[in-house]
Structure 1
Amino acid sequence: MTAPNFSDEELMAYADGQLDETRASEIDAALATDQALADRLALFVESRAGVAAAYAPMLEEPVPDDLMQSIRQMAQDSDATSKDSNVVAFHRRFPMWQTAIAASIALVIGFGSGLFMGKTGVSDGLQIGILDNPEILAALSNLPSGEQRILQNGDKIVVIETFRDGGNNICREFEYQKPGAQNLVAISCYDNNDSIWAVKMALAAPTAGTDYALASALPALDAYLETIKATPPLALEEEQKALADLLVSENP
């Protein structure tokens, strides 16, 4: 069988996530066995100055094989789920090469249930530990999506959206801005069993000349939202009810 031929224009569109699904799937399959094609694609990926500036330091770190395999498997599971006619797809499709970016970010910044925000006795900024900063907790519990709040230390938290994960847990995507530092975009979900907000994913976000970066534009974040089977963002009324229900559960 003759190997399919992909033009430079198609590879560029694929790298940007703009190629049609059928052709993109053909490239996905070809990349698994065609090293020359993978090398060509790498050139286009590397030429994306924005991606390089945002992720190059992270991509220098070696990614353990087991972590890379885990993220590949989550991506495959998500793709299989998206083919179910009963599933409403709303996140952008992400090319296979972006799983490497997601894996690198997972390794360096924190991926999954092991990452939390804050640190006991410390309220200045975000650190790995238990989320116990009362101002951040309050913002996650009651700040409407699209609004921002200035913390006492001068940092700013902006809630971007609220949704549910595949386990029906309430999750919030938000941006944390610290003056003079790179913005941090994170997803925090409420653990009903332990009654805590746990950060599931956090990554450094490049500012784009606006007050806050649109985190949904980051491919690694989109990839993660797919893996946790995130629902579409809740409408304002749904969000208000969900947060009110959490408040009741916290104060029975």
Structure 2
Amino acid sequence: MSDSLPNLLILTPVKNAARHLPGYLDLVERLTVPQERLAIGFLESDSTDGTFEALEAARPRLEARFNRMTLVKRDYGFRMPEGVPRWAPAYQLIRRANLARARNQLLFRALRDEDWVLWLDVDVVDYPADLIERLLAYQLDIVHPHCVIEPGGKTFDLNAWRDNGTRTMHDLRGTGRPVRLDAVGGTVLLVRADLHRDGLIFPAFRYGAGSPTARDKHPLWGRGEIETEGFGVLAHDMGLQCWGLPDLEVRHAPE
């Protein structure tokens, strides 16, 4: 079976994620893709809870499961003010810009000769052990499962949308097949690696003002999209299509 599988790199940017690491490690260890086909990479930035040290301590465990582990330390000097939730509107532009920078830095530092990249957030708390095989089976260049907090519940990852941001995967359930998306989230996102090599990255600035797939005007920062949503618009401008799987659910930790 392993001879028929491509090589894949899992990438996870982390910040103040120590509490999520035990569950994250348990889940990636039970993935059914063989060790020789899987590599993993992390970029830790600006943590105050020992996340980097926890990943260093987990290195032997990860190296036993994956054929290669990359761990990058890169601080951007940004922290949310004490007591302010990460989704607070006043901080979204700078927070998402720094997350885009972290994703791109991790990608450039960790990607070698892999065929696919799986972006996987550290606070995704449940998904099937054969998730990678299920995603690959659709033979789509960019594909995103449906991230929820409760099974059958509303969409958690609202960065995955279409139709000027008016429809998320919650609205597209029930087809049993992939649906077209204009933007994606990064909770779980499978990307053909050559698209990254061709220049498909995560814009750390407002991108795509005037593009037919960008929203007419973002309620927080005006025209253009950033980070994973900017990725979706950039993909369109490169002649690519993003896809969602509304009926394949993964679960995120409650906020």
Range of TM-score over shorter length: under 0.3
Q: Which has the higher contact order (CA 8 A, sep 6+)?
A: 2
Give the structure with the higher percent helix: 1
- Return the index of the structure with the highest Cα Rg: 1
TM-score, length-normalised on structure 2? 0.26
